[in-house]
C-alpha cells in the first residue's frame, strides 16, 4: 500500500496481520446491513456471516466508510451502528466514494465500492448475496448497476447467488461477457437467480471444487488479465423458493415501483423489501441463508487461494 493510499484507508489490525502473513481473508459488504434488511436482523445476520467465515477457516473483513475513512474490517460496535442507522446511512458506490470521504461521512458500501476497498487492502475474495446488473427496461432507462463495470476492472472474485432476480438476467450476462468477466457456476451449469437455483440461463463454466476455482483465479491474475470473476453459488435447495412465487412477487413489486416513481439507488432496496412483504417474509429468510452459504464457499476459495500463493513463492 502506498503512503498516499494510507491517508484514506484503515485496515483492522487483525485483518492487516492476516494479509501480511498470507492468511485467507474474505471481504463482506455493508449495504446489506444498512439497506438490505431491517434492524435487528441486519446486525444479527452480519455477525452470523462473520462467524461463518471464521468457522470455515478464513478471516472476515466487513467493509464500509466510517467517518470518511475507507475501512476494511469493522468492529461489532461499528456493525451495530450501521444496522441501527439503517437507510439513513449513505449507500456508497464508486462514484460516491470521493464525496463521502471528503465530507467525513459514514457510508455502507455496495458490491462495487466493497470490491474497490477490498482490492486496495489486498483482499481477493468477497462474499455477498447477489450482484447488481442490468435492470428491466434498461433499453429506455439505461439503468445498469455499477457492479458490472467494477467486475470488469477490479481483480476481486465475487461469490454470490447469481444476480438478483429482480433484474434482466439475460442482459446482465451479455454485459459481463462483453466486458470479459467470467461467470463460473459452483456445481451448476445454470445461473442461479438469488432466491431460486435456476434462472433458465447458462453460466460460462462449471467448476465443482473450491481449489479448482482458486486455481482459475490465480492463473487469470498471473496472466495479467485484470478484473474480477463471478462465482455463482446456488441457494441451498432446502431454502430455495418456488420460481413461480418469486416471479409473481417481482412482477407486482416492479409495478408498485413504477407507480410510486421509484428509481435509481432506491430501486433495489424497494424491490427487495416489497418482495419480502409479498412473500410473507419468506424471501428475507432465504436471503439470509444464501448469504451464509456464499460465506462458506468464499472462505473455502480464500483458503485454497492462500495455499496456492504460498506454494508459488516456495
- pTM of the predicted model as reported, rounded to 2 decimal places: 0.92
> In this predicted model, which residue has the larger pLDDT, 14 or 1?
14
Region 3-312: CATH code: 3.40.1790.10
Kindly tell me the burial class for residue 212, based on how many C-beta atoms sit within 10 Å of its own C-beta (0-12, 13-18, 19 or more): middle
Report the DSSP pairing between strands 183-186 and 229-232.
parallel
With CA atoms as reference, report the closest residue to 309 among 126, 127, 181, 124: 124
Catalytic residue status for 29: yes
- SS3 assignment, position 304: helix
For residues 143 and 153, give the distance between their C-alpha atoms in angstroms, rounded to a whole number: 19
CB 131 within 8 A of CB 230: yes
Bond preceding residue 138 cis, omega within 30 of 0: no
Residue 140 has what pLDDT?
Answer: 76
pLDDT in tens, 248-278: 888 888 889 889 988 776 777 787 778 778 8
Catalytic residue status for 309: no
Q: Given 150, 164, 273, 289, which residue is catalytic?
A: 164
Task: Please give the radius of gyration of the chain, using alpha carbons only, rounded to the nearest integer.
Answer: 18
pLDDT in tens, 124-149: 999 999 999 998 777 777 889 999 99
Residue 115 pLDDT greater than 90, yes or no: yes
Q: Given 29, 50, 80, 273, which residue is catalytic?
A: 29
Amino acid at each position: 500500500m502506498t503512503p498516499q493510499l494510507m491517508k484514506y484507508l484503515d485496515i483492522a489490525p487483525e485483518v492487516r496481520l492476516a494479509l501480511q502473513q498470507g492468511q485467507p481473508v474474505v471481504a463482506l459488504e455493508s449495504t446489506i446491513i444498512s439497506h438490505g434488511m431491517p434492524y435487528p436482523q441486519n446486525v444479527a445476520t452480519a455477525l452470523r456471516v462473520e462467524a461463518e467465515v471464521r468457522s470455515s477457516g478464513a478471516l472476515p473483513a466487513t467493509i464500509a466508510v466510517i467517518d470518511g475513512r475507507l475501512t476494511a474490517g469493522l468492529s461489532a460496535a461499528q456493525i451495530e451502528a450501521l444496522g441501527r442507522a439503517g437507510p439513513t446511512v449513505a449507500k456508497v458506490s464508486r462514484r460516491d466514494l470521493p464525496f463521502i470521504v471528503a465530507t467525513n461521512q459514514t457510508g455502507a458500501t455496495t458490491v462495487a465500492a466493497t470490491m474497490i476497498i477490498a482490492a486496495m487492502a489486498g483482499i481477493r475474495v468477497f462474499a455477498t448475496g447477489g450482484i447488481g446488473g442490468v435492470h428491466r427496461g434498461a433499453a429506455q432507462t439505461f439503468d445498469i448497476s455499477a457492479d458490472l463495470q467494477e467486475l470488469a476492472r477490479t481483480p476481486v472474485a465475487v461469490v454470490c447467488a447469481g444476480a438478483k432476480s429482480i433484474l434482466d438476467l439475460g442482459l446482465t450476462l451479455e454485459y459481463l461477457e462483453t466486458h470479459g468477466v467470467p461467470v463460473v457456476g459452483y456445481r451448476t451449469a445454470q445461473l442461479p437467480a438469488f432466491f431460486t437455483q435456476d434462472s433458465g440461463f447458462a453460466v460460462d463454466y462449471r467448476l465443482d471444487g473450491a481449489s479448482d476455482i482458486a486455481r482459475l483465479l490465480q492463473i487469470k491474475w498471473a496472466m495479467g488479465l485484470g478484473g474480477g470473476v463471478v462465482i455463482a453459488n446456488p441457494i441451498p435447495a432446502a431454502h430455495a423458493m418456488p420460481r413461480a412465487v418469486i416471479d409473481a412477487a417481482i412482477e407486482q413489486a416492479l409495478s408498485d415501483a413504477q407507480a410510486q416513481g421509484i428509481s435509481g439507488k432506491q430501486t433495489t432496496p424497494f424491490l427487495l423489501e416489497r418482495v419480502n412483504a409479498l412473500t410473507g417474509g419468506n424471501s428475507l429468510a432465504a436471503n439470509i441463508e444464501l448469504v451464509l452459504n456464499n460465506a462458506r464457499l468464499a472462505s473455502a476459495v480464500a483458503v485454497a487461494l492462500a495455499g496456492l500463493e504460498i506454494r508459488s513463492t516456495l
